[in-house]
Homo-oligomer: A and B are copies of this chain.
Amino acid sequence: MNIVENPSPETWADLLARPAKDLTQLQDGVSKIMQTVQKGGDADLRKYTKKYDGVALESILVDPEEIARSGQTLSEELKKAIQLAKANIEAFHRAQITEPRVVETMPGVRCWRKQVGIDRVGLYVPGGSAPLFSSVLMLAVPAVLAGCREIVLCTPPQADGKVHDAILYACSLCGLTQVAAIGGAQAIAALTFGTESVPKVDKIFGPGNAYVTVAKQLAQLEGVAIDMPAGPSEVLVCADEGADPQFMAADLLSQAEHGPDSQVVFVGRTRTHTKSVVAAVHEQLATLPRRDAAAQSIANSTAVVMPDDKAAAELINAYAPEHLIIARRDALAFSERIRNAGSVFLGYLTAESMGDYASGTNHTLPTNGYARQYSGVSLDSFCRQMTFQEVDEQGLKGLGPAVMAMARAEGLEAHAVAVEKRLEEVFEGLTNIDAKLAKS
């Protein structure tokens, strides 16, 4: 982990360049999987699952009874932890429910928005060496709160053909009943087109490897929405001298252990403190089970010494980190300078892990600099806002002439006529709808 002091703004982009990965060469292969599943349905899902996961699936959908009894094999400690995490995530996302608020923009013109859950959503939870039940909670809790009518979760099967009980337990806690033991591009294809077992959805959520990412991009071309573009995870830790170097090192490593392409950045205020943090990183690294992956990530990572707060904040805004830890005494005040970050962790005690699992915020966040444009997943991601307007006679009289003038200036005569005909009737007093209905 090399240390750079006071880099000038022109050098920031190169200094903090993310490990670039060109996924375009995967497109043809993924596109073929997508097309095959579109035509072949369940049969091809099974073939790909045999090929890539080495598993001959009996049933693509997990038996609901298996979901219901999944808690039996888990420790009470883990179940309690998952329950606590779910309660916090639910509390935070429930506060994002909005009620329509009518704005009378002028007399007789009432406008409002209404939050509505997306009908059909697909949740993807990656496989890998461990069961990522936390991602189930982060996607299923807001989907259920949003009132999505159909929620289907896909996750690759383990070597024994089963889905891990910890994942099923999280599903069952959230009330999910449709869980498909499929992963990779073929799972995204199934959600995009629908198969005999897997329903087609309107929007697909969740992280995944490069194949899943490309499949989600291709799904967009088929009219399916996705949560956000995905990339390797990253953290920027920004600290003052009061931050314990051991804490900072642990935070940096908790990101680095995700894999060799994870990026970690440290921004300190003094060279001495920064060196202590880097030393602690190397010291702790040796003890980690995932030290090989973490070491590769750390080798590509940078520590920056920036004594000037304003410059440090602008470096952070330019980088736009997915996770930003502000381990400073003045964390909240410093955070006022930050515009571009996915999720922010304030103070010496707020480890990123807290938010990764259980503080209540969502851990599905924009990576790869996308925090400049995208928000993390929230209740909003599972909803749309429909707008409504209602114009009465007073509103028509007050606003109608302006609308006609604008429509005609834009050369849209029929737009003007639609208002004019109503204005004529209103001014002639012929709007007694009850009388009309009685006559009709």
Residues on A lying within 8 angstroms of B by beta carbon are 77-78, 80-82, 84-85, 87-88, 91-92, 95-96, 101, 103, 105-106, 109, 111, 113, 116-119, 129-134, 166, 202-203, 220, 223-225, 229, 241-242, 244, 246-247, 250-251, 253-254, 256-258, 273, 284, 288-290, 294, 317, 329, 331-332, 335, 338-362, 368-376, 378, 380, 383-393, 395-396, 399-403, 405-407, 409-419, 421-422, 425-426, 431, 433, 436-437, 440
Contacts and interface: CB of A to CB of B under 8 A. Distances in A.
A132 B410 contact: yes
20 contacts: A88-B111, A88-B399, A92-B111, A119-B317, A130-B410, A133-B406, A225-B370, A241-B440, A246-B421, A247-B421, A250-B418, A288-B417, A329-B437, A338-B386, A343-B388, A357-B403, A359-B399, A361-B387, A375-B383, A380-B385
A78 B380 contact: no
Contact of A242 (B329, B372, B384, B436): B436
Contacts of A359: 105, 109, 111, 389, 391, 399
A131 to B, nearest CB: 7
A381 to B, nearest CB: 10
A391 B350 contact: yes
B349 A426 contact: yes
A391 B389 CA distance: 43
B389 A355 contact: yes
A350 B406 contact: no
- Give how many copies assemble into the complex: 2
A324 to B, nearest CB: 9
Given A387-B342, A388-B346, A409-B78, A414 B372 contact: no
Given A329-B437, A341-B386, 19 more contacts: A81-B403, A95-B103, A109-B359, A109-B360, A118-B373, A242-B433, A242-B437, A258-B412, A290-B412, A290-B414, A347-B391, A349-B422, A351-B403, A352-B415, A352-B418, A353-B412, A354-B399, A354-B400, A357-B402
B241 A437 contact: yes
A422 to B, nearest CB: 5
A92 B103 CA distance: 6
B116 A91 contact: no
A401 B78 CA distance: 10
Contacts of A415: 254, 257, 352-353, 356-357
Given A386-B341, A391-B349, A414 B256 contact: yes
Nearest to A82: B406
A289 B329 CA distance: 68
A354 to B, nearest CB: 5
A384 B389 contact: no
A413 B284 CA distance: 11
